[in-house]
Amino acid sequence: MNNVVVNDITLYYDRLGTGEPLVLIHGLGERKEGWKYQHDLADHYDLIIPDLRGFGKSTLPDNKEISITSFAKDILSLLDKLNIKKAHICGLSMGGIIAQEIYKLNSSKVQSLILANSIFYVPKWLGNFIYKIKRKKIEQLTPEKHKMISTERCLFSKDIEMVEKVLPAWSDKRVCFIPAWKACLEIDYRTLLPTIDVPTLIILCKNDKICRPYNQKKMHKLIPNSQLVTIKKAGHVGKIEKPDEFNHAILHFLQSTYDQDQTTSAEFFMEVK
């Protein structure tokens, strides 16, 4: 594990493997350990896996904001600190939102985008409604109860073995959860997506009850020449439930996109047998 000071916070990150840089950005309430089952990608890429500010081991001074923009600026600053001019950016859920913001702030840093189980827009009325009815319920939960409820909601298969695989992915810090969640409910990238001109992969898990699949289908339509992968029998954390399919989707996308000896279709589906 490594750490670096960016924007007056200490950002902790793992760095594994060699090759082209591939940044993995975790979702809301998670920490970098949630990407454990993607470490095999280090056989092909230089993996950079940060704890976002206020999550995992990364710090957050009292006067520092929590916003999608601040998360994105931290990642961009991290790349600068590591002397990385361009990277593949992969984000799951809130991480996918942050990936879109990174592209918005500095598209020259983005070699490709991988947006997994993510969203691009929440109508203002809907965001306000969700925040109003759920905030108090979340605040009243103990950390242990919150982790268990989140785990069960994120899974298609709720057997004990799978639950035990997901639980370590959650951050023990909760102080930033509510403001980060609120930030996710305020996004609007409807005008950004049609302007994206880097290769983009969208990963959809068919049984995702957090970021419903219609969101990813709409993103696929809005982003020119994007590719869409559907992973069946997986919920919001398909990276843990179906890591082989999830990792294969990433490798297939990157290798077929950047290897001119191979070709790829605009859309392919992964069957889970």
pLDDT tens-digit readout, 118-175: 999 999 999 999 999 999 889 889 989 999 999 999 999 889 999 999 999 999 988 8
- 56, amino acid identity: G
Q: Band the pLDDT of 38: cuts 50, 70, 90.
A: very high
Strand partners, 231: 205, 270
Cα–Cα nearest to 222, from 92, 100, 107, 71: 100
SS3 at position 105:
helix
pLDDT tens-digit readout, 73-132: 999 999 999 999 999 999 999 999 999 999 999 999 999 999 999 999 999 999 999 999
Cα separation, 132 vs 271, whole angstroms? 38
pLDDT, position 94: 98
Cα separation, 121 vs 70, whole angstroms? 18
The pTM of the full predicted model, rounded to 2 decimals, is 0.93
pLDDT tens-digit readout, 259-273: 744 443 334 334 432
Cα separation, 58 vs 31, whole angstroms? 9
Average model confidence (pLDDT) for the chain?
92
